[in-house]
């Protein structure tokens, strides 16, 4: 069975500092991995995805994520956080089977302080 875990309910970081939002997954075979962001009263917005290839994936708004197969992780990172990055971040995973569904994590609230 597929699953995804976001171990931190909230991450606090000062503006200008690097940020990391953690995600680990479990799936049979190779995964498709995604990060989404949700601002208040809005739907989720796609940030980036890993399908195959380079383990470091670059996405929107300066975010990037590193796929680590041995640790089954896909942590979201940004070198320098902005106050405007404050939002709810979701990791999602899907297996490669035709019947596999996209499973979302429980979300991590990122708070960037000025």
Partner 1 sequence: DAGVIQSPRHEVTEMGQEVTLRCKPISGHDYLFWYRQTMMRGLELLIYFNNNVPIDDSGMPEDRFSAKMPNASFSTLKIQPSEPRDSAVYFCASSKGQVNSPLHFGNGTRLTVT
Residues in contact with partner 1 by CB under 8 A are 32, 34, 36, 41-46, 49, 51, 90, 94, 96, 99, 101-102, 104-107
Q: CB of 113: closest distance to partner 1 in angstroms?
A: 24
Tokens representing 56 are: 């470091």
CA distance 103 to 101: 6
CA distance 104 to 102: 7
Closest to partner 1 by CB, 70 or 99: 99
Closest to partner 1 by CB, 66 or 100: 100
Q: CB of 114: closest distance to partner 1 in angstroms?
A: 27
- Name the CA dihedral angle for 107, 79, 27, 44, rounded to a multiple of 10 degrees: 40
Closest to partner 1 by CB, 18 or 62: 62
Q: Which residue has the tokens 């601002």?
A: 39
Q: 76 pairs with which residues across the strands?
A: 21, 65
Closest to partner 1 by CB, 81 or 91: 91
């Amino acid at each position: 069975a597929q699953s995804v875990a976001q171990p931190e309910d909230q991450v606090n970081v000062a503006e200008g500092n690097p940020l990391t939002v953690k995600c680990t997954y479990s799936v049979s075979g190779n995964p498709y991995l995604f990060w989404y962001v949700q601002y208040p009263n809005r739907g989720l917005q796609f940030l980036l995805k890993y399908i195959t290839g380079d383990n470091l994936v670059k996405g929107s708004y300066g975010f990037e994520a590193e796929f680590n197969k041995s640790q089954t992780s896909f942590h979201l990172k940004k070198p320098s956080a902005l106050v405007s990055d404050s939002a709810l971040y979701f990791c999602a995973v899907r297996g490669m089977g035709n019947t596999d569904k996209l499973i979302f994590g429980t979300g991590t609230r990122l708070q960037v302080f000025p």
